[in-house]
Amino acid sequence: MSRIIFATGNEGKMREIREILKDLNMDILSMKEAGIELDIVEDGSTFEENALIKARAIAQTDVCRAHGDIVLADDSGLEVDYLNLEPGIYSARYMGEDTSYRIKNHNIIQRLDGVPEDKRTARFVCAIGAVFPDGRVITTRGTIEGIIGWEERGSNGFGYDPIFYLPEYGCSTAELSMDVKNKLSHRGNALRALKEKMFREHLI
């Protein structure tokens, strides 16, 4: 059976991708499950570049070449319009990789002190890069639009979820159940776009 390798060690992401791609009838493995260990420097200047850097590095391993695997990788982050799209591709590294999200989130709220609701627009972005065994490459992007809140709310999710509000739902993404968030999320949208593009371009 053909295999898809997804460049992540995150179990939550694996569950989401398995759910969305389940009708492809392919084995979907994490890097770890495929026995691949690789430290990759993400030094691209866009989400798409970073996703492709990861996917290409993994596609070049002996394991993937021997199996003829399709390799997927994602890169995601938060763009705040008022902050000139910061933290963007530096979302994980914002204020330092080891700084807690409580501190990062408070800092963003502080930088938006006094900013009215209509200028607090923000989005989560996710780019997915896919490398196919014949060398072809595609990328897709998914987003979810919201605003930066005035305080942290909710304890589901991770990262910037407690300060990312969805006005039409009246809550932050940290207050949504995982199921609902996956249906709306930037990663879900990027994965669904990827599936469509793979079919449309006869890549699978």
Interface with ligand IMP (CB under 6 A) = 74-78, 91-92, 124, 157-161, 185
Q: How far is the CB of 68 from ligand IMP (least distance, A)?
A: 26
Q: Taking Cα atoms as reference points, which of 172, 8, 196 lies closest to residue 101?
A: 172
Of the two residues 48 and 161, which places its CB atom closer to ligand IMP in the complex? 161
Of the pair 70, 78, the CB lying nearest ligand IMP is at 78
Stated length of the chain? 204
Q: Identify which of residues 15 and 136 has a Cβ nearer to ligand IMP in the complex.
A: 15
- Least Cβ distance, residue 78 to ligand IMP (angstroms): 6
For 26-36, give one letter per residue: b (16+ CB within 10 A) or e: eebbbbeebeb
Active site residue 113: no
* Chain residue at closest Cβ approach to ligand IMP: 159
| Catalytic residue (choose from 27, 75, 118, 179) | 75
Q: Which of these, 69, 13, 17, lies nearest to 192 by C-alpha position?
A: 17
Q: How many CB atoms lie within 10 A of CB 13?
A: 18
Tell me which residues are annotated as active site.
75
